[in-house]
Amino acid sequence: MSFELLSEPIRRYIRDQRWEELRPIQHAAISKILSTNDNYILASRTASGKTEAAFLPILSQTDFDHAGVQVLYISPLKALINDQFVRVEELCKYLDVPVTKWHGEANQSAKTRLIKRPQGIVLITPESLEAMLVNKPFNVKHLFGNLKFVVIDEIHSFIGTDRGTQLKSIISRLRNPPSPPFRIIGLSATIGDYVEAKRFTGNETGTKVLLDRSAKEVEAQFRYFEGSDSELPLDLVKDLYLETENNKALIFPNSRGRVEEVSVKLKKISDRVQGHSNYFSHHSSVDKDVREYVEFFAKNNRGQNFAIACTSTLELGIDIGTVDEVVQIDATNSISSLIQRLGRSGRRNSEKSRLILYATKPWSFLQSLACWALYQDGFIEPPETNSRPLDILVHQALSITKGSSGIEIELLVNQLKQNCAFEDLSISDIEEIIDHLTECDLFEKLRKEIIIGIEGEKVVNSRNFYSVFTTEDTFKVLSSGSPIGDIPFSPQIVEGENLLLAARIWKIIHVDFDAKRIHVIKALDGKKPSFSGTAASVHGSVRQKMLELLYSKEVFNVLNKASVMELGKLRKEFTPFNIQDFQTERPMRIKDGSVELFTFAGTKINNTIYLLLDLAGFECKLNTPSSSFEIETSATHLRAKWPALQSALQDIDEHLSDLIDKRPQILSFSKWGSLLPRKFQVELLKRKYYDFNEAIKFIDSCKFVENC
DNA sequence: GACCTGCTGCGGTTTG
């Protein structure tokens, strides 16, 4: 059937691969991509052959004899580009089509070759595309003027994020006439909202979703070990060692510091009992070469067991082969992330995924169980929607103006207005932002034209201009000249102190503040490094499920004895509140001089309620894991004042503007937001950090239930 | 107590 639709060289490739059959997503993609002109989102679990599902029909249909690049593949990670390059190149040998990697670390002469003779397939990052649009817009026309397909890998990592808005805008800029239209194919294992996914192409009605719901069977087990904030419980580490010693395992402990703690502790035990020594850590602060070695080891070693402790760096599709088991320590923040992590396990197609979920705190355990239960229900939290990306507009306005070396104001406004990333912003919004940028010397007006201003030059000529996310300043850690990693400066960075990094223990012998270098030697004992960061946000549906679990009688066969007991304890603790309506009723515990209010709401609603309580003069503390407020007041007083929390909304804009004055770092979630007029900074804060509409609904409907 | 992601172009010198 669909096999017959493919071109001869592609059929030969499939025969040479000795595939017994095409996977369901491949059948669907081949027949749909070849028989229609629609855009497609291919949603199917990890390792189900999505890359081939896109490329087999694309390569069959495309005539590569035309000048210009025919297919553009966009990836969120350089490492993923390097992996996919090998796969796609193998496939393209059958067609004699050249494939070029284009990212910051890709070979320069290959790029130069492509510019001399634009053809074939290019694999690129959004930031590299941005850089090209800014610095060499003529190359964009020259290379991509004849594009037939754009493939976006791991598209869920872009949907609903700032980086996604940037990419949407870039793709819209590539479509600038007179270029002929190209089709978009998005690939993902986890899509939480199909409408948002379709909108991502800029043409919702012309985009279809091909979905293969079949999931790999998962064998899961929850284990509970009560622990403290500082270190993991020893029993947990021992149990984890026994669990993973004869396996290939990926361990996700949720933070870089914990990653180091886990890998070093496991390695110590292993040294003592003469187990294998393949314990690694993998996260953003580990040196790139060290990380690549770890990836290489995992992928290419035969038979040897290993354990890699990692953060979300190993969550996306980097090819490390599959592992025997995935271990999660304390709760995942989202179901989407749980699915990505699960996808790493289960060696062969037929084999089950194996997942061990440890927890060290009651609320973390409950959150983990809630994510698991929602996953079992087939639920994935929807992405954020950002219909007014004011800050990204600032960035794109600067980028377009620099790229065209000055532009007529009217043309700039129209280009931004017609860009699908900004369709919900009005002409007057755009004009207001441009005027403000001009007042701040980021732009300069020359009659009808706009050019980059004095302050703007500093911004657009910086190497840091091309991305829309912020990163912290780091020090390079070196051992006899070889890089181990990059860590943010903290009070712990003092000569003589020991620290853990890249699964090893080091002693700091010298800190060079000018060169931002930390020189270390090997040591025997040390502390996990402290990394600053912001907690990932938790969706309301997860918190809602946590509440339901407290009052359900459901028995989970995935829990070990200790976690059954922990769930029992939590349920018993909340029995006296006797919540009946999970939508509106919330437990309120009366204490001596204070009340504890459990909102079971998502991060943004909690942020908003915190602000409103503060504005109403309440002293309060938000405990994130339990989603509860400790408020220094009496229940009667809180009940009386509660509906009036809304009164602060009358002049909320002034309150927020004051807040920005007092704590400018509250806008640090947005790299380009600081360049907006104040009015729009306030709006950004309202949309991205708070959620007043939902918070008001919550306040209106919320009924406190006290323990009796 | 808290994740992750990427990244000029040019001129000059050295190397194969």
> What is the tens place of the pLDDT at every residue in A368-390?
999 999 999 999 999 988 889 99
A283 strand B contact, CB < 7 Å: yes
Q: What is the pLDDT of residue A488?
A: 83
| Distance in angstroms: CA A539, C1' B15 | 57
A158 strand B contact, CB < 7 Å: no
**∠ CA A498-A503-A505, rounded to 5°:** 20
- Give the whole-angstrom CA distance, residue A167 versus residue A155: 10
- Give the whole-angstrom CA distance, residue A367 versus residue A621: 20
A188 strand B contact, CB < 7 Å: no
| Distance in angstroms: CA A613, C1' B3 | 29
A254 strand B contact, CB < 7 Å: yes
| Distance in angstroms: CA A134, C1' B10 | 16
- At residue A432, does pLDDT exceed 90? yes
Torsion of CA A629, A634, A639, A642, to 10 degrees: -50
A257 strand B contact, CB < 7 Å: yes
Q: What is the pLDDT of residue A33?
A: 97
Task: Point out the residue nearest to B1 (C-alpha to C1').
Answer: A229
| Distance in angstroms: CA A360, C1' B13 | 58
| Distance in angstroms: CA A688, C1' B8 | 31
A354 strand B contact, CB < 7 Å: no
- At residue A507, does pLDDT exceed 80? yes
- At residue A347, does pLDDT exceed 70? no
**% of chain A with per-residue pLDDT over 70:** 99
A336 strand B contact, CB < 7 Å: no
| Distance in angstroms: CA A466, C1' B9 | 14
Within A 620-649, residues with CB less than 7 Å from strand B: 624
A350 strand B contact, CB < 7 Å: no
The pLDDT of A133-158, averaged and rounded, is 94
Q: What is the pLDDT of residue A660?
A: 95
A18: confidence class by pLDDT, cuts 50, 70, 90: very high
Q: What is the pLDDT of residue A693?
A: 94
A311 strand B contact, CB < 7 Å: yes
Task: Specify the CATH superfamily of domain A2-211.
Answer: P-loop containing nucleotide triphosphate hydrolases (3.40.50.300)
| Distance in angstroms: CA A441, C1' B10 | 26
**What are the tens digits of pLDDT across the range A469-481?**
988 888 899 998 8
Query: Which nucleotide C1' is nearest A291 CA?
Result: B4
A491: confidence class by pLDDT, cuts 50, 70, 90: confident
Which nucleotides in chain B lie less than 7 Å from some protein C-beta? 1-9
| Distance in angstroms: CA A259, C1' B1 | 14
Torsion of CA A9, A14, A15, A17, to 10 degrees: 120
Extended strands (E) in A149-202: 149-152, 183-188
Residue with tokens 């980097």: A318
Q: What is the pLDDT of residue A489?
A: 80
- At residue A561, does pLDDT exceed 70? yes
Within A 88-107, residues with CB less than 7 Å from strand B: 103-105
Mean pLDDT of chain A: 92
> At CB < 8 A and 24+ separation, what contacts does A199-207 make?
A200/A152, A200/A155, A200/A158, A200/A159, A200/A164, A200/A168, A201/A39, A201/A171, A202/A168, A202/A171, A202/A172, A202/A175, A202/A420, A202/A421, A203/A39, A203/A420, A206/A37, A206/A38, A206/A39, A207/A38, A207/A39, A207/A40, A207/A41
The pLDDT of A634-654, averaged and rounded, is 94
Task: Point out the residue nearest to B8 (C-alpha to C1').
Answer: A463
Same CATH fold, A218-376 and A2-211? Answer: yes
The pLDDT of A398-411, averaged and rounded, is 96
Query: Which nucleotide C1' is nearest A623 CA?
Result: B1
Who's near A338: CB < 8 A, 6+ residues apart? Answer: A328, A332, A371, A372, A375
Structure-block tokens of residue A134 = 């800014």
A402 within 8 A of A452, measured Cβ to Cβ: yes
Cα distances (angstroms) measured from residue A32 to each of A2, A6, A148, A422, A651: 9, 12, 16, 30, 53
- Give the whole-angstrom CA distance, residue A356 versus residue A240: 9
A285 strand B contact, CB < 7 Å: yes
| Distance in angstroms: CA A394, C1' B10 | 28
A536 strand B contact, CB < 7 Å: yes
- DSSP bridge pairs for A220: A355
Extended strands (E) in A30-74: 39-44, 71-74
| Distance in angstroms: CA A408, C1' B11 | 33
Within A 361-420, residues with CB less than 7 Å from strand B: none
Neighbour-count burial for A64-77, b at 16+ CB within 10 Å, e otherwise: beeebbbbbbbbbb
Query: Which nucleotide C1' is nearest A532 CA?
Result: B2
A467 strand B contact, CB < 7 Å: yes
| Distance in angstroms: CA A148, C1' B7 | 27
A112 strand B contact, CB < 7 Å: no
A135 strand B contact, CB < 7 Å: yes
Decide: helix, strand or coil at residue A98: coil
A492 strand B contact, CB < 7 Å: no
**What are the tens digits of pLDDT across the range A174-216?**
998 767 789 999 999 889 899 999 999 999 999 999 999 887 7
| Distance in angstroms: CA A18, C1' B7 | 41
- At residue A252, does pLDDT exceed 80? yes
Torsion of CA A595, A601, A603, A608, to 10 degrees: -60
- At residue A499, does pLDDT exceed 90? no
Q: What is the pLDDT of residue A465?
A: 96
A530 strand B contact, CB < 7 Å: yes
Q: What are phi and psi of A167, to 5 degrees?
A: -65, -40
Q: Of A123-127, A629-633, A662-666, give the lowest mean pLDDT range.
A: A662-666
Element (H, E) at A363: helix A362-376
The pLDDT of A57-70, averaged and rounded, is 94
Element (H, E) at A550: helix A540-551
A345 strand B contact, CB < 7 Å: no
Task: Point out the residue nearest to B3 (C-alpha to C1').
Answer: A312
Cβ neighbour number for residue A436 with a 10 Å cutoff: 18
Query: Which nucleotide C1' is nearest A162 CA?
Result: B5
The pLDDT of A286-305, averaged and rounded, is 88
The pLDDT of A423-440, averaged and rounded, is 97
Cβ neighbour number for residue A105 with a 10 Å cutoff: 10
Q: What is the dotted CATH code of the domain comprising A390-460?
A: 1.10.10.10
| Distance in angstroms: CA A108, C1' B10 | 14
A494: confidence class by pLDDT, cuts 50, 70, 90: confident
Element (H, E) at A126: helix A126-135
Q: What kind of architecture, by CATH, is found in domain A218-376?
A: 3-Layer(aba) Sandwich (3.40)
Record the pTM. Answer: 0.94
A348: confidence class by pLDDT, cuts 50, 70, 90: low
**Where are the domains positioned within chain A?**
2-211, 218-376, 390-460, 474-522, 576-706
- At residue A350, does pLDDT exceed 70? no
| Distance in angstroms: CA A598, C1' B7 | 44
The pLDDT of A28-33, averaged and rounded, is 97
Within A 196-235, residues with CB less than 7 Å from strand B: 229-230
A526: confidence class by pLDDT, cuts 50, 70, 90: confident
* Better pLDDT: A376 or A491: A376
Task: Report the range out of A488-497, A521-530, A570-579 with the highest average pLDDT.
Answer: A570-579
A312: confidence class by pLDDT, cuts 50, 70, 90: confident
A549 strand B contact, CB < 7 Å: no
